[in-house]
Amino acid sequence: MFVCKYPLISVFQLINNGHVVFIAASRSVDEVIKVFPKKDRTQAEYYILSEILNLTDSDFHNRAAQWGEVLDIYGKRIDGINWYIKFFIEKDENGQDSLSEVSFHPLVEDMVLANGTKLKKEDP
């Protein structure tokens, strides 16, 4: 089922308007800091959001169900590393759409993208 739930244009608009929540920092922000130890939390968040803004439809992998939500999963080679990227859109406490960024970490298993590209898990 290689069809994303959330159009990237909507994801990009939410990022550009500052409607983003990092709901699982241990699987995103902390992982970026592990890979790039000189980055602080703000820089890691900026890195994640900048790279999500660079996603294309061809980076899409699949959907997943988690926490009663449908999440979109992407994979992309960035800075010589194959990354696993997962997020969804939900309503915030004010009823506005917000991007919930869940995962942004090096692949832990091989991945095949919707366009047929194979990304390999890399040994540490």
DSSP string, 13-77: HHHHTT-EEETTGGGTHHHHHHHSTT--HHHHHHHHHHHHTT--GGGEEEEEEETTEEEEEEEEE
Q: What is the pLDDT of residue 42?
A: 96
**Beta-carbon-side half-sphere exposure of residue 61 (alpha carbons within 13 Å):** 21
pLDDT-flagged residues of the chain (< 70): 1-2, 124
Distance, in Å, from the CA atom of 36 to the CA atom of 44, rounded to the nearest integer, reads 8
Strand partners, 103: 86
Distance, in Å, from the CA atom of 50 to the CA atom of 15, rounded to the nearest integer, reads 9
Strand partners, 106: 83
Q: What is the pLDDT of residue 65?
A: 86
Q: What is the pLDDT of residue 60?
A: 97
Q: What is the pLDDT of residue 7?
A: 96
Q: What is the pLDDT of residue 81?
A: 95
Q: What is the pLDDT of residue 67?
A: 78
As a whole number, the mean pLDDT across the chain is 93
Domain locations in the chain? 19-107
Q: What is the pLDDT of residue 109?
A: 95
CATH class label, 19-107: alpha beta
What is the Cα Rg of the chain in Å? 14
Tokens 């409607």 map to which residue? 19
